[in-house]
Amino acid sequence: MAGQTLIVGNGAEEQKPNKAGLEGIVAATTALSNVDGQVGRLVYRGYDIHDLAHSTSFEEIAYLLWFGHLPKRSELAGLQASLLEQRQLSTDILTILRNLPAETAPMDTLRTAVSAWGMYANVQGQPTIEQAIALTARFPLILATFHRLRQGLEVLEPRADLSYTANYLYLLTGQEPKAEHIKGLDAYLVMLADHSMNASTFTARIVASTASDLASAVVAAICALKGPLHGGAADKAQEMLAEIGTAENAEPWIRATLSSGRRLMGFGHRAYKTTDPRAEELREMARQADPVGFAFARRVEELAVSILDEIKPGRRLYTNVDFYSAVLLSSVGIPIDLFTPTFAVARIAGWTAHILEQSANNRLIRPLAAYSGPASLAFVPLDQR
């Protein structure tokens, strides 16, 4: 497409630059988060992710994104109480979850349950902070309930004495969650809560810009997150590590994969042209959480970055968030097919904050397309073709 003559919406012919995938295009203004991909910096409302990762909880970050500042203790307690009040699934949603085939993909389960919640809760009109809280509180419940049901286990009652993260782990496993697992998963949820104009957030903002409702915008975001080029990469990275199997097999496996034209999952990023700062944090967390799994993953990472540089010079392909997410999520006991849904358990905070931001200062998002089809063909009626 580069340099082609194309016809834009008003009929004029123009030389359009190659912006496949809207690369480099500023599509919205946001005060929520910023990615500086050249130096590998991510901020939420001005705060560096390295400062937030281990010193804040997911609830604090949701507060920061929704309300614009880090909460005082009393403000945090208020939000925790509101989330707790919403920590429940109605019988209608439970019935839907009970009737889903056990082999349903968890992202499909989440999409279906959120859509049903929007209908049963009559989520209509301008998105509200109350709707954002109500839906966020339900994400872990939907996934953990489905995970129990598909194993033929009893659904557990959510626990009011546990945090958002601890309650998710408890509902998944039925065990008292270990302090280090809660800490690890909470830091993961903090780091994945928002990420500027990623594909699922952009999708949510587009839907919100049509003055549609919050549940619809979140359903659309879930659909976008599901794809392996976006949120679906962590489980693929885990599968890749399992397929490689041993450190000795890593180099031949990577070379064979790249020469067959396939991609290495957990590497490369549209915005980061250096290591993703979340990957740096996750690398250290994985080192602590699972030293053996970490040592192998680290070897694969070093080889992958060096071979990518050799085979794809100048593309600047480094480790992204999904590579060490795989090691960390495994170490805290999240099943592989819940990796992407657990990403959603974090990102629901960012999605809803973006939906609220978009709808508070809305203009319909409606770009143009550069038309590349024939300009003017003579119409031939059906029976003469």
Ligand X SMILES: CC(C)(COP(=O)(O)OP(=O)(O)OC[C@H]1O[C@@H](n2cnc3c(N)ncnc32)[C@H](O)[C@@H]1OP(=O)(O)O)[C@@H](O)C(=O)NCCC(=O)NCCS
Catalytically active residues, by annotation: 269, 322
In this complex, which beta carbon is closest to ligand X, that of residue 19 or of residue 69?
A: 19
250 is a contact residue toward ligand X (CB under 6 A): no
Query: With CB under 6 A as the contact rule, which of the stretches 141-149, 167-175, 183-191, 320-328 interacts with ligand X?
Result: 320-328
Q: For ligand X, which is the closer residue by CB, 64 or 321?
A: 321
CB of 285 to ligand X, least distance (A): 17
Among residues 268, 277, 293, 350, the one that binds ligand X under rule CB under 6 A: 268
Query: Which of these ranges, 185-193, 204-212, 317-325, 370-378, lies near ligand X under the rule CB under 6 A?
Result: 317-325
Alpha helix segments (H runs only) across 174-228: 179-191, 199-209, 214-225
DSSP 217-257: HHHHHHHHHTSTTTTTHHHHHHHHHHHH-SHHHHHHHHHHH
Minimum separation from the CB atom of position 168 to ligand X (A): 22
315 binds ligand X (CB under 6 A): yes
Q: Is 19 in the site for ligand X (CB under 6 A)?
A: no
Nearer to ligand X among residue 157 and residue 310 (C-beta) = 310
What binding mask, one character per residue, do residues 103-142 give for ligand X by CB under 6 A, x or -?
Answer: ----------------------------------------
Q: CB nearest ligand X: which residue?
A: 268
Beta strands in the chain (DSSP E): 5-7, 13-15, 33-36, 41-44, 47-48
Site size for ligand X (CB under 6 A): 18
Closer to ligand X by CB, 64 or 317: give it: 317
Binder to ligand X among 63, 267, 294, 324 (CB under 6 A)?
267
Q: According to the binding rule CB under 6 A, does residue 312 interact with ligand X? A: yes
| Phi and psi angles of residue 134, each rounded to the nearest 5 degrees, phi first | -60, -40
Cβ pair 294, 302 in contact under 8 A? no
Helices 129-150 and 73-85, axial angle in degrees (round to 10): 50
- Sequence-distant (≥ 6) Cβ neighbours of residue 380 within 8 angstroms: none
Q: Residue 48, SS3?
A: strand
Q: CB of residue 342 vs ligand X: minimum separation in angstroms? A: 15
Provide the 3-class DSSP secondary structure of residue 377. Answer: coil
3-state SS of 17-44 is: CCCHHHCCCCCCCCCCEEEECCCCEEEE
- Which of 100, 223, 229, 336 is close enough to bind ligand X by CB under 6 A? 229
Write the CA distances from 312 to 39, 242, 307, integer angstroms: 20, 24, 8
Which residue's structure tokens are 């008292």?
176
For the bound state, the minimum distance from the C-beta of residue 265 to ligand X, rounded and expressed in Å, comes to: 5
Contacts of 343 (CB under 8 A, 6+ apart): 192, 225, 231, 234, 325
CA angle, 143 then 229 then 351, to 5°? 50
Among the candidate windows 42-50, 218-226, 263-271, 351-359, which touches ligand X by CB under 6 A?
A: 263-271
Contact with ligand X (CB under 6 A) among 62, 254, 321, 356:
321
Given 116, 169, 193, 265, the residue binding ligand X (CB under 6 A) = 265
Task: Please report how close the Cβ of residue 241 comes to ligand X at its closest, in angstroms.
Answer: 13
Work out which of 9, 17, 21, 125 binds ligand X, going by CB under 6 A: 21
Identify which range of 46-54, 238-246, 316-324, 344-352 contacts ligand X by CB under 6 A. 316-324
Sign of the CA dihedral 43, 232, 116, 154?
Answer: negative
Listed residue (337, 316, 315, 317) closest to 326, CA to CA? 337
- Take residue 358 and report the two structure tokens written for it: 């978009």
The residue within the footprint of ligand X, chosen from 145, 173, 320, 342 (CB under 6 A), is 320
CB 219 within 8 A of CB 110: no
Contact region with ligand X (CB under 6 A), list: 170-178, 183-191, 289-297, 315-323: 315-323
350 touches ligand X (CB under 6 A): no
Phi, psi (deg, nearest 5) at residue 7: -105, 125
Toward ligand X, which CB reaches closer, 150 or 263? Answer: 263
Q: Which residues bind ligand X (CB under 6 A)?
A: 21, 229, 233, 258, 263-270, 312, 315, 317, 320-322
